[in-house]
A = this chain, B = another copy of it.
Amino acid sequence: MAASGSYFVHIPKYFSPHLLGAFHKLYPKVSLHLDVVNRSQIIQLLKENEGDLVIMGLVPEDMNLKRFPIIENPIVIIANPSHPLASQQNISFNELAKHDFVLRENGSGTRKAFEDFLLSHQIKINPSMILGSSETVKQAVMADLGISALSRHSVTLELATKCLVELDVQDFPLMRSWYVVHHETKQLSPAAQAFIDFILYQPEAVGSLCNRLLETHFISQ
């Protein structure tokens, strides 16, 4: 398969570079352009059939899209280790809802997954702060400004070093998936097709790449 040329991938920040790095080593002639955008921007790109491939969580049901699962995306509730809930077990969501929350901006896929859960359980929370990136949410939780819901992939290092703790909440983690997605009518370039094949035919390698940070630095030591 001729896999050269360049293509565009709109990606979650945390595991995609590791995945694309491994792909790049297999196909060094493929020059990669990665663009990090949020969910609303991704949906706009898919509507306009722009870019080659997209990596995203919640795939819109009302569009003609092809999707290929990559790995699970566990959405967890995180807190500062000194938070009163940190030592509790099997926390009910009604108990959790009494505490301050820090949320991602509207348009974030993680926020949407979390809000869908709240809606289906008729739970209301009062966000004390809305922040424009998962990195800032993470830092705000470390600064004890509230608790939050984030992809476990985005807090691997912080959990491993106990800068943050994952709360033991009923019904959590919310299990979602990451997908590679493109418009049904997309004419895939050989490079984009090679990337999809790489995802589909090497699922174990892909899973391990997504957890590379943790495996390299903590589990293996």
A22 to B144 CA separation, bound complex (whole angstroms): 9
Given contacts A132-B36, A135-B135, A217-B163, contact A143 B13 (CB under 8 A): no
**A139 and B18 contact, CB distance less than 8 A:** yes
- A213 at interface (Cβ–Cβ under 8 A)? yes
**A35 and B132 contact, CB distance less than 8 A:** yes
Nearest residue, chain B, Cβ from A21: B143
Nearest residue, chain B, Cβ from A156: B163
A32 to B212 CA separation, bound complex (whole angstroms): 36
Copies of this protein in the assembly total 2
**A143 and B212 contact, CB distance less than 8 A:** yes
The minimal Cβ–Cβ distance linking A209 to chain B, given in whole angstroms, is 8
- A133 at interface (Cβ–Cβ under 8 A)? yes
Given contacts A36-B131, A163-B157, A217-B163, contact A20 B143 (CB under 8 A): yes
- A26 at interface (Cβ–Cβ under 8 A)? no
Nearest residue, chain B, Cβ from A131: B34
Nearest residue, chain B, Cβ from A132: B36
Q: Can you list 16 contacts pairing A with B, beta carbon distance less than 8 Å?
A: A13-B135, A16-B136, A16-B139, A22-B143, A33-B130, A34-B129, A34-B132, A34-B136, A34-B140, A35-B132, A36-B131, A37-B132, A133-B133, A157-B163, A161-B217, A162-B217
